[in-house]
Amino acid sequence: MPNFESFELKLRIKRSKQQAEGKLLDYLLHHPTISSTEAVLSACRAYWMPLAMIKAGEENPAVLREVGWSAILDLEKQIQLIKRVLQLEETTSIPASSVPVVPVESVEAIAYPTVTTEQLPTPEDLDDELGVNDFD
């Protein structure tokens, strides 16, 4: 039997229930049809999977194309759902001043930011605005 290496990520996030992010977490924890774990993974897959596959060295164009289109379709589906639920009209436009212009040479820096350990905060630095340290 093959020995498959697994990966476990334990994520703890704490926000005030009055904050928008707190309302988001409550929504995910109490969603009637999907577990909070699957909801988070689904969002991460759509938003980050193509970049993760490239960074991991995936070279198969068919796999990359499938992962890319899957992410795009999931994001477009979510865009349509948000428009429908919030009754946003198609003619509504975003002011040009609020749309960031990203030079082509910056795309790799955005997709693969370089972080050194000196830049990472310590757990003590990560107290949220309530003054509660999320790390035990």
pLDDT surpassing 50 at residue 89: yes
Task: Round the CA-based radius of gyration of the chain to a whole number and report it.
Answer: 19
In three-state form (DSSP H/G/I as H, E/B as E, the rest C), the secondary structure along 95-128 is CHHHCCCCCHHHHHHHHCCCCCHHHCCCHHHHCC
What tokens appear for 10 in the block? 């334990």
Count Cβ neighbours within 10 Å for each residue of 5-18 and write b for 16 or more, e otherwise. Answer: eeeeeeeeeebeee
Q: Which pLDDT value is given to residue 71?
A: 97
pTM: 0.64
Question: 123-132: long-range contacts (C-beta < 8 A, 24 or more apart)?
Answer: 128/14, 128/15, 129/16, 130/14, 130/16, 132/14
Tell me, what's the pLDDT at 93?
Answer: 66
Binned at pLDDT 50, 70 and 90, residue 46 comes out as very high
Cβ-based neighbour number of residue 47 at 10 Å? 14
Mean pLDDT of 9-25: 93
Q: Is the predicted pLDDT of residue 128 greater than 60, yes or no?
A: no
Average pLDDT value for residue range 100-105: 61
Taking residues 84-94, report their average pLDDT: 79
Axis-axis angle for helices 20-29, 36-55 (nearest 10): 110
